[in-house]
Structure 1
Amino acid sequence: MNKVVLITGASAGMGKETAKLLAATGYTVYGAARRVEKMKDLEPLGIKTLAMDVTDEASMVSGVEQILAKEDRIDVLVNNAGFGSYGAIEDVPIADAKYQLDVNVFGAARLIQLVLPSMRRSGWGKIINISSIGGKFATPYGGWYHASKFALEGLSDALRNEVKPFGIDVVVIEPGGVKSEWGQLAYDNLIKSSRQSAYRETIDKLAGFLEKAGEKNVEPMVIAELIREAIEAKRPKFRYVAGYMAKQLVIVRKLLPDRLFDRVIMGQFR
């Protein structure tokens, strides 16, 4: 029996590539996103598309109910919807900060709540939360984004042990640099929030760094393959890391004390 997969943020990047890969592998795939028109190219591949806003309760409930009415179960949830709200913590309006956490944390958490009853009934399930290496360490001017990913990491660790007795696995994917709309959106948010900023000099250096780093990012399919590996593993790892500089930075963060790690990070802005 084909596994039924729900992927959020399927309109672009890692979400779209994951939907394509899993559909080609024989999964029954539902791709969800706000921008339904961006998923039209998925439909000829047999992927079913849903309009879903992960900050809207009715939208999430309706989407999950549609899948359950058709398939009677959801075996795999890939919480991929997310974005980066960059700017100095002082500069970013609290309303924007709350929206960042609504999308990256609370939207994922609510979908987890909605799919768990089906997974418990089946005695099997995989919840794949797309975090970031930015959930392991923080860089200046990404504070609200890092806060959301640190929160998602902690949520995943707690959830993993809660649902393990029901045959459900919780996996965190930690991408590094990946070619996607994410980088441009983070850059745009950074510039927007810092027009009159007291931090403008350093922010301009970060903006330049982001532009250069983007040229070395890996293709989204690299992460899609990692997600498939996690889904198909009988005993998946708790965390999977891939993408430009991902493994190196995670290792460096483990090895270096805070003060020295700060010096390494700030050295990038000179």
Structure 2
Amino acid sequence: MSCLGCDTGFGHQLAVKLDKLGYTVFAACLAPEGVGAKQLKAKGSQNLLVISLDVSADESVNRAVTEVKSYLSPNKKLFAIVNNAGIGHYSGVDWSKPGVDDVYRSQLEVNTLGAVRVTKSFLPLLRETENSRIIIVASLAARFVFPGLVGYSMSKYAVRAFGDGLRREQKPYGINVSVIEPVMYNTSLTDMSVCLNNMKAHWDNTPEDVKQSIGSTRFVSLCKTVESFLMMRRSNVEEVLDAMIDSLTREEPKPFYRVGGLKERITLYLLEALPEELQDFFLDPFVFDHILKYLHNSRQ
């Protein structure tokens, strides 16, 4: 199996778990000499192989495919790839430097085009394996656009659409495609201080005339909403890992895995059933902030 985004988070823990289950794992890391990669080498058996991969670079993906091929043989084929690499930016729509590079392009390049780039490159190998798998890690942000996460949601909506189309196109070849949609979990991507500093950096990079037209109160309001949102993080990442492993080991995996607590799933189901006008009302930063605080307090 080839698992992407293994430096930290879900990918890192999934690689370790699959290794313990006896699978040969190609753990793709952006920093193959970094802390996360070194931890994988220390924890893993000889069947856990750390490889270098930058999903945003064609040359890097091509090298990774060549490296994986070198380990394969007629009796050892590639069974699955897990598209887990991802980044996140917290920002208002028109914050940061002029243009789209700072917030939008970077997220689309990694979260969306990275999955497309890697999948296209590995598809010929997966077609050689009966009942092979492609796993795409999306997010609840692929269903709802939350304040401060527009760019991230764009990238996740797009990768979910890619998963839908891919599943339908590859069915004749016996390739199963599953999309994992976790709610917010406690990972490096949702670290409170990192996320709030990220918001402040984008605000600081915003031209002064744009700041004045937005107003500093809007900045403070959106920061509070994101802070409340981050307080809803779930700590049991095993829930996500279990869904990933089910999608890899079940004879007929589900097309979608929505992962989260019962309360979150019911809330999201009800929100999805509402007309757009009511969704807009409940996702207004002021209203949404109060809903999140209520849900957080009801957990305690």
Q: Structures share a fold, TM > 0.5?
A: yes
Residue 220 of structure 1 and its aligned partner are, at CA, apart by: 2.5
CA 126–186 in structure 1, closer or farther in 2 if over 3 Å, else same: farther
Maintained 8 Å contact 1:177/1:246: no
Residue of structure 1 in register with 2:237 after alignment: 220
1:199 to partner: Cα distance: 5.3
Is the 2:228–2:289 contact (alpha carbons within 8 Å) kept by the matching residues of 1? no
Query: 3-state SS of the aligned residue for 2:278?
Result: helix
Q: Secondary structure at the match of 2:51?
A: strand
Q: Which residue of 1 aligns with 2:293?
A: none
Work out the percentage of aligned pairs sharing the same amino acid.
25
Number of residues paired by the alignment? 266
Are 1:29 and 2:25 matched, yes or no? yes
Structure 1, unaligned stretches of length 5 or more? none
Report which structure shows greater RCO (CA 8 Å, sep ≥6). 1
Deviation at 1:131, TM superposition (A): 0.2
Q: Is the 8 A contact 1:202 1:269 kept in 2?
A: no
1:13-162 aligned at under 5 Å gives the runs 13-36=9-32, 37=34, 38-44=36-42, 45-46=44-45, 47-72=48-73, 73-92=77-96, 93-96=99-102, 97-162=104-169
How much does 1:249 deviate? Answer: 4.0
1:150-196: per-residue Cα shift (whole Å, max 9, x none)? 10111111110100111101100001110111113543332211235
State the AA in 2 paired with 1:148.
S
Relative to 1, partners in 2 of residues 1:74 and 1:186: Cα closer, same or farther, differing over 3 Å? farther
- Unaligned runs of 5+ residues in structure 2 are 291-300
Give the 5 Å matches for 1:114-263: 114-184=121-191, 185-195=194-204, 196=206, 197=211, 198=214, 200-218=216-234, 219-243=236-260, 246-263=264-281
Normalised by the length of structure 1, the TM-score is 0.92
Matched residue type, 2:137: I
SS in 1 for 2:25: strand
Residues 156 and 172 of structure 1 are in contact (CA less than 8 Å); yes or no, is this contact kept in structure 2? Answer: yes
Q: CA deviation at 1:120?
A: 0.9
**Contact 1:141 1:203 (8 Å CA) reproduced:** no
Opposite residue 192 of structure 1, the aligned amino acid is: A
Give the structure 2 partner of residue 9 of structure 1: 5
Q: What secondary structure does 1:109 align onto?
A: helix
Distance, in Å, in 2 between the alignment partners of 1:139 and 1:200 is 20
Aligned partner of 1:32: which letter?
A: A
Deviation at 1:213, TM superposition (A): 4.2
Q: 1:178 to 1:128 in 2, by over 3 A?
A: same
Please name the residue that 1:268 is paired with.
288
Q: Which runs of 4+ in 1 moved over 4 A?
A: none
